[in-house]
Amino acid sequence: MRAADQQEYDWYFRACFAPVSRTVFLIVRDRDRAEDITQEALYRLLRHWRTVSTYERPEAWVRRVAIRIAVREVQRAAARPEKERLAQQVSYDELPDPDVARAVAELAPMQRAAVVLYYWEDRPVHEIAELLCVSDSTVKQHLHRARHRLAVALGEEVGDVRR
């Protein structure tokens, strides 16, 4: 972005933030959420600055985007209790013992995801690979490393553990 464009955008940001934030607050009734939504709208303005800066009133574009986001947020919040009521209750009966859970929680995020999907959800490697957007061999590597780390963490013999 050129310096002149950056200055013009900065001016719009400062000029739009307070009035748009007030409008959004009146819709969502939460100051922090209103500021987040306003920042999101102004970020979208930055992403589309080259086009929107040619409009007669770029601030109107920002306000329209912010209002759309705010209305969507209010609709989601209103629908949430009904969706939660309709959701099935989760059974926590099949959780691992606390030592295993603690050891799994210490794994790297992708290893943790692979272990949970493979051992607790009983999903095949190819399906885990699809869910995690990685190759089958990467899933196998995550599982192998996770099994090794879990064996060390749980004080078990480290070996070539196969399921």
pLDDT above 80 (res 162)? no
CA distances from 55 to 36, 40, 61, 63, 64 (A): 24, 19, 9, 13, 13
- Reported as half-sphere exposure (CB side, CA atoms, 13 A), residue 100 has a value of 10
* 118, pLDDT greater than 80: yes
Q: Is the whole-model pTM more than 0.95?
A: no
Q: What is the pLDDT of residues 83-98, one digit of tens each?
A: 777 776 656 566 667 8
87: CB partners within 8 A, 6+ apart: none
Q: How many CB atoms lie within 10 A of CB 69?
A: 19
- 48, amino acid identity: H
Residues 88, 91, 93, CA angle at the centre, nearest 5°?
175
Q: Which domains does the chain have, with CATH numbers?
A: 3-86 (no CATH), 98-153 (1.10.10.10)
Percent of the chain with pLDDT over 90: 64
Cα pseudo-dihedral 153, 155, 157, 159, rounded to 10:
0
